[in-house]
Structure formats: structure tokens, C-alpha cells
């Protein structure tokens, strides 16, 4: 069983951003894109 590709950003235990990728794409869950959020 595989997990879906995702990236999550949380602050003080609260999810601020949850990026879920569709299918086999890799468009916005990479480290560079997540770092741009802060």
C-alpha cells in the first residue's frame, strides 16, 4: 500500500497548508515550493 504524495505545513499543531498531489504528478509538494510558503 502506498501513501498519496503530499506536503503538510503545521504551526503549533495546527495544519496551515496541506498540498495533495493528484495521480503521479509532482508539482507543488517539493521542498522548494513548501519553503516559499514561509
Query: pLDDT tens digit string along 5-21?
Result: 888 889 999 999 888 88
Residue with more model confidence, 4 or 9: 9
Of 11, 4, 12, which is closest to residue 34 (Cα–Cα)?
A: 11
Say what the pLDDT of residue 13 is: 96
Global pTM reads 0.60
Residue with more model confidence, 17 or 26: 17
Say what the pLDDT of residue 10 is: 93
Residue with more model confidence, 16 or 29: 16
Between CA 37 and CA 17 the distance in angstroms is: 9
Percent of the chain with pLDDT over 90: 18
Amino acid at each position: 500500500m502506498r501513501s498519496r504524495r503530499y506536503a503538510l505545513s503545521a504551526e503549533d499543531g495546527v495544519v496551515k497548508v496541506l498540498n495533495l498531489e493528484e495521480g503521479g504528478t509532482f508539482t507543488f509538494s517539493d521542498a522548494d515550493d513548501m519553503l516559499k510558503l514561509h
